[in-house]
């Protein structure tokens, strides 16, 4: 078996921000064997390594002076099932939304609210993707990886992943040490759908659906997302640029006296409240503004967009301006959700 590296590869079509940046070397791996061969090349070259999934949660700010390896390990397998649940193992290079549709098609419940999130299955545990009241951590049983330093396999059980709000050990203590190759999901056979978040219930009511199936929920989520979020195929972006900041509840109460219409979500930690970053950005006047080739989306203030030909640095400069205004107005530090490369 032989794996070929390409040199000075333009990554524009491999990131949803559609930013031009060159990788010094680049290769695609479709199996663990190919990955291990490529890791041997990385070791010999002593160069930096970047793993790429769908490129929907990263921003290139410069050319990458190292090796970029794109994960295309496919395959979905049912490992076991009983009357209540099923354990499904999925190759990390499968497209997340296609995996969701597979589950919906089979009647396996748990991920339907996460429909249409771009990217790969392998990246889903890294920031514990979440939407419409559901986080992927609630369905993950284990995460299989290759350890870069040893090229050995390692399996993390969900409770070893330290999942948090858009967070896990793969972004913290174990950052850059493992390549995720497979994810095992525990999905339910008896669906208890979650329609409480956002506009899901409203969409179902409009359609006269009284007892929604997981397909109904996934269809509603797809419709809502299409109406609200820019499609990266048409307008470069990486979804929410910032995380919703978690602030002490006392600070939130103080803000609420000044801004009674501010909404909130429960924080991950005791005594903390999640404030809506989109609301803070909108209130600070940025929604719909354009600066050069970049701007803040007109419908969704959390999304920074590339109107065409933008550099990563332009995106960073705009994000810094937004952070400055939000800090000045509300005393809150916004933290990027997107991985800055
Ligand atoms: C329009 C839009 C909407 C979005 N909506 C949401 C949303 O609702 N909720 C949400 O949580 N996210 C959302 N996102 C963000 C994004 O879709 C997710 O973070 C997704 O999981 C990223 O997957 P990816 O394969 O594209 O990762 P990439 O962007 O390719 O990589 C992200 C990071 O993970 C690392 N990585 C990727 N794969 C692996 C692997 N197999 N092993 C080790 N490291 C790896 C990369 O090195 C990088 O640091 C949205 C993005 C867009 C563009």
Contacts of 181 (CB under 8 A, 6+ apart): 32, 35, 71, 73, 91, 92, 122, 144, 145, 146, 153
Nearest to 289 by CA among 309, 313, 308, 305: 305
Task: Give the pLDDT score at 197.
Answer: 85
Whole-number percent of the chain with pLDDT over 90: 93
In a 10 Å sphere around its CB, with 0-12 CB exposed, 13-18 middle and 19+ buried, how is residue 7 labelled?
A: exposed
Ligand 1 atom with the shortest distance to the CA of 122 = 41
Read off the pLDDT of residues 200-213 as tens digits, 9 standing for 90 and up. 999 999 999 999 99
Q: What length does the chain have? A: 341
Encoding tokens for residue 298? 């007109």
Tell me the residue ranges of DSSP E strands in 11-73: 22-29, 48-52, 58-59, 64-71
Encoding tokens for residue 173? 């203590």
Task: Give the pLDDT score at 190.
Answer: 86
Read off the pLDDT of residues 85-125 as tens digits, 9 standing for 90 and up. 999 999 999 999 999 999 999 999 999 999 999 999 999 99
Distance (Å) from CA 53 to ligand 1 centroid: 7
Distance (Å) from CA 56 to ligand 1 centroid: 5
How much is the average pLDDT of 301-319?
Answer: 97
Band of residue 74 on the pLDDT scale cut at 50, 70, 90 = very high
Nearest CA to ligand 1 atom 32: 57
3-state helix, strand, coil in the chain (%, to 5): 30, 30, 40
Letter string b/e over residues 182-220, b meaning 16 or more CB atoms within 10 A of that residue's CB? bbbbbbeeebebbbeebbbeebbeeeebeebebebbbbb
pTM of this structure = 0.95
What is the pLDDT of the chain when averaged over all its residues? 95
Task: Give the pLDDT score at 95.
Answer: 98
| Of 177, 239, 265, 338, best ligand 1 pocket probe by most atoms within 8 Å of the beta carbon | 239
Nearest to 88 by CA among 113, 121, 126: 121
Nearest to 9 by CA among 21, 19, 23, 20: 23
| Of 59, 95, 119, best ligand 1 pocket probe by most atoms within 8 Å of the beta carbon | 119
Task: Give the pLDDT score at 270.
Answer: 83
Backbone angles phi, psi at 273, to 5 degrees: -125, 140
Task: Give the pLDDT score at 263.
Answer: 85
Run of H or E residues at 44 = helix 32-45
Nearest to 221 by CA among 243, 201, 237: 201
Nearest CA to ligand 1 atom 2: 239
Radius of gyration for the chain, computed over Cα atoms and rounded to the nearest angstrom: 21
Letter string b/e over residues 62-72, b meaning 16 or more CB atoms within 10 A of that residue's CB? eebeebbbbbb
Which DSSP symbol is given to 333? -
Q: Are 306 and 19 in contact (CB under 8 A)?
A: yes
Please state, in angstroms and rounded to a whole number, the distance separating the CA atoms of residues 171 and 169: 5
Q: Is the pLDDT score of 275 beyond 80?
A: yes
Read off the pLDDT of residues 204-252 as tens digits, 9 standing for 90 and up. 999 999 999 999 999 999 999 999 999 999 999 999 999 999 999 999 9
The CA-atom distances, in angstroms, between 20 and each of 5, 9, 38, 61, 320 are 19, 10, 24, 9, 21
In a 10 Å sphere around its CB, with 0-12 CB exposed, 13-18 middle and 19+ buried, how is residue 236 labelled?
A: buried
Read off the pLDDT of residues 131-181 as tens digits, 9 standing for 90 and up. 999 999 999 999 999 999 999 999 999 999 999 989 999 999 999 999 999
Could you list the active site residues?
Answer: 166, 240, 337
Transcribe 94-152 into DSSP letters: SBHHHHHHHHHHHT-BSSGGGTT--SBTTTTTTTT-EETTEEGGGTEEEEEEEETTT--
Task: Give the pLDDT score at 1.
Answer: 67
Q: Is the pLDDT score of 266 beyond 90?
A: no
Encoding tokens for residue 278? 């989109």
Q: Are 218 and 134 in contact (CB under 8 A)?
A: no
Q: Is the pLDDT score of 267 beyond 90?
A: no
Whole-number percent of the chain with pLDDT over 70: 100
How much is the average pLDDT of 19-40?
Answer: 97
Task: Give the pLDDT score at 177.
Answer: 97
Nearest CA to ligand 1 atom 28: 55
Distance (Å) from CA 122 to ligand 1 centroid: 9
Please state, in angstroms and rounded to a whole number, the distance separating the CA atoms of residues 94 and 78: 15
């Amino acid at each position: 078996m032989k794996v070929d590296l390409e040199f000075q590869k333009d990554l524009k079509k491999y990131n949803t921000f559609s930013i031009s940046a060159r990788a010094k070397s680049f290769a695609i791996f479709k199996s663990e064997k190919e990955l291990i061969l490529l890791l041997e090349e990385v070791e010999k070259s002593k160069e930096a390594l970047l793993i790429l999934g769908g490129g929907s949660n990263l921003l290139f700010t410069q050319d990458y002076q190292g090796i970029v390896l794109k994960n295309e390990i496919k395959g979905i397998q049912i490992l076991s099932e009983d009357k209540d649940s099923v354990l499904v193992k999925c190759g990390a290079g499968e497209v997340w939304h296609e995996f969701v549709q597979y589950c919906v098609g089979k009647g396996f419940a748990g991920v339907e609210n996460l429909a249409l999130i771009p990217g790969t299955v392998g990246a889903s545990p890294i920031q514990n993707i979440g939407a419409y009241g559901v986080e992927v951590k609630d369905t993950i049983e284990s995460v299989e990886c290759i350890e870069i330093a040893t090229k050995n396999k390692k399996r993390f059980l969900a409770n070893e992943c330290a999942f948090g709000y858009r967070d896990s050990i793969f972004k913290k203590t174990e950052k850059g040490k493992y390549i995720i190759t497979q994810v095992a999901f525990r999905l339910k056979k008896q669906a208890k759908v979650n329609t409480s978040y956002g506009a899901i219930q409203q969409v179902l009511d409009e359609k006269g659906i009284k007892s929604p199936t997981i397909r109904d929920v996934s269809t509603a989520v797809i419709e809502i997302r299409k109406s609200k979020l820019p499609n990266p195929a048409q307008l470069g972006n990486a979804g929410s640029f910032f995380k919703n900041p978690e602030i002490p509840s006392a600070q939130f109460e103080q803000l609420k006296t000044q801004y009674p219409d501010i909404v909130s979500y429960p924080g991950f930690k005791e005594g903390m409240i999640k404030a809506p970053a989109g609301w803070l950005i909108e209130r600070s006047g940025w929604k719909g503004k354009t600066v050069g080739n970049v701007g803040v989306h007109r419908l969704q203030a959390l999304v920074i967009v590339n109107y065409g030909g933008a550099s990563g640095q332009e995106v960073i400069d705009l994000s810094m301006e937004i952070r400055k205004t939000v800090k000045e107005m509300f005393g809150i530090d916004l933290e990027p959700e997107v991985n800055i490369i």
